[in-house]
Each structure stands twice: as structure tokens, then as C-alpha cells.
Amino acid sequence: MPSSLKKIRIGVIGTSEPDARLYRIAEEVGREIARRDGVLICGGLGGVMEAAAKGAQQKGGLTIGILPTEDTSLANPYIDIPIATGIGEARNIIIVRSAEALIAIGKGFGTLSEISFALKMKKPLVGIETWDVSSQILSADKPSEAVEKAIKLAEEAK
């Protein structure tokens, strides 16, 4: 089995319009995922998705972007593998289904939909300054803590 298939897949979901502080947090989450040899899965566009992918690439991590459009050229420049779906926001289900655990950063209605799908699918979910809609969302204060919790939960779920 190729080594990339053995790596843990962490989905990063979050606002498409983060402030500078949340952008830095998302970047650090991406770096932490790469440091732990994980694969980052996100929506492939801007905001938290771009920041996390940028951070992961800085540390040599693999990034996958599940795009809402049919045009892979719309992926942010830090996506290694753009997957064009052409299904709009319905691609949120693919992001959640493909991840072994998810980290939600910030708030936004797209993020809320992904959180809902994660809860429904019983996916491990860690949040940093995100929607407080369920006790099943574990809170984290720092990027390293969020990634550590997400990996632990994903491994326990196997």
C-alpha cells in the first residue's frame, strides 16, 4: 500500500473570510497537520482553506482541495490535488466523508453545514472559535492542541 494511503486525513473547515488572527491560526493548523505526517483535506478555495493549505505546504504536507466548481484552476495556490466536483456547496459532504477527523476554525454558514454533516456522520470534530452547537465538538485553544485531539480521536475511531 502506498505510504500516502496510510496517512491520517484531517479535514480543515472554516470561514472563507477570516480575520488576520484566524488566518494565522489556520496556517498553524496546516503546519501541525504536516508535522504529524497527515494529509490535509479542505474546500480548496480561500480563507481558512487557503491558510491551512499554505501552512501544510510550508512543512511539506500533502493538500487536497474538494472544489465546488468544475474548474480546478480556481483552487488556491497551495492545493496539491484539486478535485473538481461541479456540485457547489454539496461538496461539503465529500470533505466531511473523506476526512477521518475535522477541525473547524471560525464561523460561517458553510462551516456550520460541514459541522452538521460531521455530527450526523459521527466524525471526530475539534473546534477553534467555531459554532458551539453540540457537546460533541471538542474545543481547542491552540492549533497544536486541535491537531493532537483530532488525530487521537481519529485513531480511536478506527
61-88 pLDDT, tens digit each: 999 999 999 999 999 999 999 999 999 9
108-118 pLDDT, tens digit each: 999 999 999 99
Judge whether residue 3 has pLDDT over 70. Answer: no
Note the pTM of the prediction, 2 decimals.
0.95
How many percent of the chain have pLDDT more than 70? 97
3-state helix, strand, coil split of the chain in percent (to 5) is 45, 20, 35
Question: Cα separation of 75 and 83, whole Å?
Answer: 9
31-55 pLDDT, tens digit each: 999 999 999 999 999 999 999 999 9
C-alpha cell at 113: 453545514
Q: Which helix (H) or strand (E) is 116 found in, with range?
A: helix 109-120
φ, ψ for residue 60, nearest 5 deg: 80, 15
125-135 mean pLDDT: 96
User: In which residue are the cell numbers 462551516 written?
Assistant: 111
Can you list the pairs that 69-75 forms with residues at least 24 positions away whose Cβ atoms lie under 8 Å?
74/44, 74/45, 75/44, 75/45
